[in-house]
Structure 1
């Protein structure tokens, strides 16, 4: 597994040399754009709209647009010095909390952590301590030129670092438009909705969830590449235009009910007279 960062993690006076490895991967299928006439890939050139000429990397500077059309230019050496002053390549655990206290909206990226040379025992100590205390560590670090907050936790016997958003990076739910106030929900509607949830409740098995669109797109690409005929998948039945909430809930329950096994017909016991006749 590729190492994307090396440093150390500390809690109190304990220091653990570690390596970070990306825990997830993007499997989106990236499509190129071609010229329709000759099928050549389209190039996207960096062009100055005022000078009307292409610019190279040496001609480009970075800047912050503090108001529309007005910029503060930042030199590369200024950015480098700022980064060096704040980056000591250490992850410091500042607090320990219960994971239930962190809403999933804060989570960003996941990284596996492995011990670097000489860090095996301290790594095992932190892992065991987190498991026994049922806590996770809240840490701060610099990664990819940004100060990050992170959660350190145990996943399948491996320490995982989950980078999390700062509170001011999470938009307020109260700003979401058109969220309805408490509507008048009848007890029957609520009971039926809970019944539907109960029928659809299952153990979480990640392996059973697949990206059906990506699989279909790969099949289409392969079929076209090899010149084979391909068929389009059968479309799902269009959802009925049910406007009544109770009717929609009941229809959903009926659809998700487990099929009953056909009842076996019990053999009728022979009467005493019939038994004498048979004898």
Structure 2
């Protein structure tokens, strides 16, 4: 499993060197955009609308737009210094709380934690402490250039980091339109709804839920492949050295011929004898 972050988790005087691995993966079927006419993949290039030309990576700087078309430019050194300041800090558990005190709307992404060779014992110590107390740890950590609020909990005998949103990243529920203040259902309707809930109640089993759309899409793709209903993108021919050499020779030849013709015309003009004017007797 790929290690995407290495650091130290600490609580009190206990330090645990750990490695972090992505616990989930996106299995969306990614589709490419093709040009309908020739079925070639469409490319997206970085173009400066002001200079009207392509922009190379080394010509790009990062900036924050604080007002319409007004920016604060940040150079790479400034950003790297900020990253280093946070990266060098150990991930310290600030509080221990109950899991059900955090609403699921705050949860973002999950990562597995594995102990470094020297941290096996302290890893087990934290796992046992969390298991016996039923608590989870709240911490801050730097992941991919962003300071994340996170919780550390147990999932099937493995410590898991769960990144969570900061309060100001969760939109105000009062801004949701058309939410009724009170329920207008009568008693009979409510009783029927409750009966339906009871009939559909079950123990949560994640294995029973599948992405049916993804499965159908993959089946359709496989069927088209088997039926040879496929296309091959036409690649733009790249000029080889021979072609370049022939082009250069031909252009040189044409230019030489043009120069010779120009020189020849100029020479004839210069050597044309002047007509003699007869002297009057």
TM-score, length basis structure 1 = 0.80
Distance in 1 between residues matched to 2:2 and 2:43, nearest whole Å: 30
Contact 1:63–1:72 (CA<8 Å) still a contact in 2? yes
* CA positional deviation for 1:5: 0.7
Counterparts in 2 of 1:31-42, with a 5 A limit? 31-42=31-42
* 2:219 partner SS: helix
Counterparts in 2 of 1:158-169, with a 5 A limit? 158-169=158-169
User: Are residues 1:110 and 2:104 paired?
Assistant: no
* CA positional deviation for 1:226: 1.2
The CA RMSD measured in Å over matched residues stands at 1.1
Match of 1:66 in 2: 66
Match of 1:92 in 2: 92
* CA positional deviation for 1:143: 1.2
- Report Cα offsets for 1:26-54 as digits up to 9, x if no partner: 00000001111211111101001111100
Larger Rg: 2
Q: 1:128 to 1:49 in 2, by over 3 A?
A: same
Match of 1:266 in 2: none
* CA positional deviation for 1:89: 4.9
* CA positional deviation for 1:184: 2.3
Residues 214-223 or 84-93, more deviating: 84-93
Q: Show structure 1 runs of 5+ residues with no match.
A: 230-279
Match of 1:241 in 2: none
* CA positional deviation for 1:183: 3.1
Contact 1:61–1:74 (CA<8 Å) still a contact in 2? yes
Contact 1:6–1:89 (CA<8 Å) still a contact in 2? no
* CA positional deviation for 1:118: 1.1
Counterparts in 2 of 1:1-279, with a 5 A limit? 1-227=1-227
Contact 1:48–1:54 (CA<8 Å) still a contact in 2? yes
Q: Show structure 2 runs of 5+ residues with no match.
A: 230-281
Distance in 1 between residues matched to 2:185 and 2:53, nearest whole Å: 63
Distance in 2 between residues matched to 1:2 and 1:85, nearest whole Å: 25
* CA positional deviation for 1:214: 0.2
* CA positional deviation for 1:228: 7.2
Contact 1:111–1:161 (CA<8 Å) still a contact in 2? yes
Distance in 1 between residues matched to 2:45 and 2:89, nearest whole Å: 36
Residues 95-104 or 34-43, more deviating: 34-43
Distance in 2 between residues matched to 1:90 and 1:108, nearest whole Å: 21
Distance in 2 between residues matched to 1:170 and 1:122, nearest whole Å: 34
- Matched positions, count: 229
Distance in 1 between residues matched to 2:22 and 2:41, nearest whole Å: 30
TM-score, length basis structure 2 = 0.80
- Give 1 or 2: higher helix fraction: 2
Distance in 2 between residues matched to 1:82 and 1:98, nearest whole Å: 32
Give the 4+ runs in structure 1 shifted more than 2 A.
none
Distance in 2 between residues matched to 1:106 and 1:118, nearest whole Å: 33
